[in-house]
Amino acid sequence: MNGPWNPAAGGRLEQALVYGLGLSGRAAVRLLLAQGVAVEAVDDKAVDRGDLEESVTLLPGGTLRQLPPGVDLVVVSPGVPLDRPLLEDARRCGVPVIAEVELAFPFLDGPVVAITGSNGKSTTTAMTGEMVKAGGLTAEVCGNIGEPLAGKIAGPPGRVFVVEMSSFQIEGIATFRPKAAAFLNLSEDHLDRYGDLEAYGAAKKRLFRDMEPGDVAVLNADDPETLRTETRARRRLFSRLGPVEDGCYATEEGRVVEVDGGVETPLFHASDVPLAGVQNLENAMAAALLARAVGVEPDAIRAALRSFQGLPHRLQKVGERGGVAFYDDSKGTNPGATMKAIEGFADGTVHLILGGRNKDADLATLTPMVARKARRAYLIGEAAAEFAAALGDAVPFELSETLDRAVRSAAEQARPGEAVVLSPACASFDQFRNFNHRGDVFQELVRDLIGASHG
């Protein structure tokens, strides 16, 4: 970043380059055109013009190394690494390189509530949005969850923008300042981009850098890395394991209590959270504190939780056969997510499907939890051999290679009262288009099994 993007600071933006033409890139193009800015666009892959206006100049992707003349601003999509030669050239030329969320931020007429973390971002974002709506406010749920912030500019003032933020997006902010923001957790992920956990965490902590004392930073008291976040904002903590001085915590009886100025107020009960997994209790606590930051009352928080349907592929119960439950946690794409997913199951009852494409994570961090919770593991995809080495003799496993073989074998060996869980701890791109595709295939396989058992 060479300087802030601020359209109110004077000077006219004449020409911009948008790098990456996925959802966020195309939303950025539309916003820039609406502001009368000439737009050039480029993508590393071959893309169709699609819905792009004819006035947009499509540049050849992949080999473009120098910034075209006349460009005043570069907007980069989350999937584009910031060390691309074109972006390095832009920075050498003093041209700001920003994310689509940064482009949109100056145009927002309402408070921003932001959510980041290694795991649980989408669920927490969706929960927060439902709580805000239950509190009588208008919520725009957007960001990394699938709806670009730049596409939400038009609308009445006073809307609450509930924005899921990936580390890739946060890398490209300069003036973006949320009224409230949550850092849910930090575990090994995207190390193929960042190199180590410290750099990955630093990218996420940037979100809190420019927050002020009147803002609210919601941090996980049970995660030491999130607690190291430096910010001037009010620090409100959530904990599943014990009391906090400012924030909320879960009691042994399952009550979640807010602590504010020494006064305790009941927020909700763990039984109000209709989703499986201890991680979803944590997500609900974080969402509740974010909703409280914009004035939502506890009654509305409880009502929103009780009616919350959850998101696909996040420890989603697919069905049962012969007393065996099947869960789709295809979104569990790193070891931290998988550990949270299986933590709430009874010891020795899980038939766990692991594997895919590792993102340079240390898979051995999973071994103690898998040894405790799993009766057997089924290893698929590129990382199968890595998992075999990591698990050793801690738990019986088989090299299933493909998801269909893993599901069939797990279903044959699972006993009543046990669960077959797809929580791969890896990306899906070795055998599937994305985690949604992997989860859809798993659900289809399970439905076929259940249908066959009733046939």
Q: Which among 119, 144, 220, 280 is annotated as catalytic?
A: 144
User: Is 190 among the catalytic positions?
Assistant: yes
> Which long-range CB contacts under 8 A does 209-216 form with residues at least 24 apart?
210/175, 210/176, 210/177, 211/177, 211/178, 211/181, 212/177, 215/177, 215/178, 215/179, 215/180, 215/181, 216/179, 216/180, 216/181, 216/289, 216/290, 216/293
Which residues pair with residue 97 across a beta bridge? 74
* Neighbour tally for 106: CB within 10 Å: 15
DSSP SS3 for 364: helix
- Residue in 313, 363, 362 with CA at minimum distance from that of residue 341: 313
CA distance linking residue 154 with residue 156, whole number of Å: 7
**What is each CA distance from 417 to 161, 188, 348, 440, in whole angstroms?**
42, 32, 11, 24
Side chain identity, residue 168: F
Amino acid at 38: A
DSSP 8-class letter at 366: G
Which is it for the CA torsion 355, 121, 281, 305, positive or negative?
negative
Query: Which residue out of 133, 179, 190, 313 is catalytically annotated?
Result: 190
The amino acid at residue 398 is E
Task: Determine which helix (DSSP H) or strand (DSSP E) holds 443, and give its type and residue range.
Answer: helix 435-454
Q: Which amino acid is at 319?
A: G
- Do residues 244 and 289 make contact, with C-beta atoms less than 8 angstroms apart? no
Which residues are identified as catalytic? 121, 144, 190
